[in-house]
Amino acid sequence: MLVDLKRLWLVPAFKTLLIARIISNLGNGLGPIALAFGVLSLEEATASSLSIVMAAQMGPMVLFMLFGGVIADRFPRAMVVGVSDVLLSAFVIANGVMLINGTATVFSLAVIAFISGSLNALWWPAFAGLIPEIVDEDDLQSANSVVALGANGANITGTVAGGIIVAGIGAGWAMVADGISFLIAGLLVFTLRKYGKTRVQTEHSPSVYDDLAHGWKEFSSRSWVVAVVAGYSIIAMIFESVFAVVGPVHAEQELGGPKPWSWILAALSAGMIAGVLVSLKVRPKHPLLIGLTAQLGVVAWIVTMGVTNWIPLIMISAFFAGIALDFFMVLWQTAMQSNIPRESLSRVSSYDAFGSLALAPIGLIVAGPLTEKFGSSTTLIAMGVIFVAVLAAMLAVPAVRQLEGKTPETAEIQPESLNS
């Protein structure tokens, strides 16, 4: 790992991107705790109120993600990432100020959450296509691993700090700190705007529809991509519901509030660091088979929260869930970057994100009412059972099990048929 880091550190653009991602993720550790417990701190708030705010944030991410991919393929991706971060910082700070001065309502938080989600729809596909423009193809998996390692290390610090700040001086101040981190990160990434080519628009240039159609062709022609994204639409629905609604409500009602929840999320992030370290050493012949099987660790964490309130055991299960999550994500990102033509990568990544998150807003909307009706413990256990069933369905697809890790020289393969 140190060899990979030293080599990549010599690439100035990668160093800037890594530093920006670390700073941004310090704030990302603060943000979810601050927003969740900020909503729950309002007098009129219930679990359903939290569902509304979180769904308002996730909904536009799904709706606008495809157009975000087109924008990222038409303009320098670093510029899109930088501008999105800077704009996002203003709205996150506004949220924090309203919580501090007592003017925040469920409606106002939901409106700003909607705007933030819209900006994230631009950010994600642009960032997904940025790393391949900065490092060589041989270094893609190492670069993805190093970025994830730095990001998750910062996330641990931010998560622990978030629990302390929220419990000590309030959620609003944590959100202000989150916004400042976005501002600094955005300004850093904006300095990389020379990377990536802006497509020159002429009367013969493809329309937005043509761009989307081309991205869909690249996406849908690979059965392993379609199967994983379809399965992850349900898995992401479950995970986002646990992370944003059921988990915080369970922590508030059963575990003692924001501090224990921040410890659990810190353990999850620590596991993600371990997962990245594993991905630096382990390059399986069949990456999706191994990566998806490892997701049983996430199931174990969700079910453990449902059956016990003992924090140390929940933290241990969260640690192993983190290993599983980031190990798979590095393998998935590398598979996408190695098998999708670079000029189409942001559009395909936007279909990936769109499909994976398509059901998440629905999950967030129903998570609060379900938790109120059946209780957080029962809801968590039921989600774990559904998670296992989805993993089994994904692994039943031959193209998923059989996909082999590819070198750059073999990346330009013929797309698979959906009927294979």
Residue 144 pLDDT greater than 70, yes or no = yes
| Arithmetic mean of pLDDT, 259-272 | 87
| 289: in domain | yes
State the sign of the Cα–Cα–Cα–Cα dihedral 126, 129, 133, 134.
positive
pLDDT for position 206: 62
Calpha distance 102→172 (Å, rounded): 9
pLDDT for position 196: 52
Q: Residue 335 belongs to a domain with what CATH number?
A: 1.20.1250.20
Above pLDDT 70, what percent of the chain? Answer: 87
Above pLDDT 90, what percent of the chain? Answer: 17
pLDDT for position 133: 79
State how far Cα 383 lies from the chain centre: 19
| 412: in domain | no
Residues 228-237 have pLDDT tens digits of 888 988 998 9
| 90: in domain | yes
Radius of gyration of the chain (CA): 20
pLDDT for position 202: 45
Does the pTM of the predicted model rise above 0.75?
Answer: no
Residue 207 pLDDT greater than 70, yes or no = no
Return the half-sphere exposure (C-beta side, CA atoms, 13 A cut-off) of residue 390: 25
Residue 409 pLDDT greater than 50, yes or no = no
| 420: in domain | no
Residue 420 pLDDT greater than 50, yes or no = no
Tokens of 294: 């490892």
pLDDT for position 203: 47
| 45: in domain | yes
| 186: in domain | yes
Tokens of 166: 């929220």
Confidence of residue 152 (pLDDT cuts 50, 70, 90): confident
pLDDT for position 311: 92
Phi first, then psi, for residue 247 (nearest 5°) are -60, -55
Q: What is the DSSP string of 200-235?
A: PP-TTSPPHHHHHHHHHHHHHT-HHHHHHHHHHHHH
Residues in the chain: 420
Structural domain containing residue 122: 2-195+207-405
Q: What mean pLDDT value characterizes the chain?
A: 81
pLDDT for position 105: 87
Residues 340-368 have pLDDT tens digits of 776 667 677 777 777 888 888 888 888 88
Residue 382 pLDDT greater than 90, yes or no = yes
pLDDT for position 320: 94
| Arithmetic mean of pLDDT, 304-322 | 93
Confidence of residue 274 (pLDDT cuts 50, 70, 90): confident
| 419: in domain | no
**Number of Cβ atoms within 10 Å of the Cβ of 285:** 10
Confidence of residue 208 (pLDDT cuts 50, 70, 90): low
| 200: in domain | no
Question: 230, 372, 235, 255: which is closest to 306 by C-alpha?
Answer: 255
Q: Which residue has the higher pLDDT, 330 or 184?
A: 184
Confidence of residue 389 (pLDDT cuts 50, 70, 90): very high
Among 29-38, 152-161, 337-346, the least confident range: 337-346
**Number of Cβ atoms within 10 Å of the Cβ of 219:** 22
Residue 200 pLDDT greater than 70, yes or no = no
Residue 96 pLDDT greater than 70, yes or no = yes
The three-class DSSP label of residue 408 is: helix
pLDDT for position 405: 62
**What's the number of domains the chain is made of?**
1
pLDDT for position 5: 62
| Arithmetic mean of pLDDT, 26-38 | 83
pLDDT for position 407: 40
Confidence of residue 406 (pLDDT cuts 50, 70, 90): low
Q: CA distances (Å), 191 to each of 13, 16, 220, in order?
A: 9, 9, 35
Among 144-148, 241-245, 330-334, the least confident range: 144-148
Residue 205 pLDDT greater than 70, yes or no = no
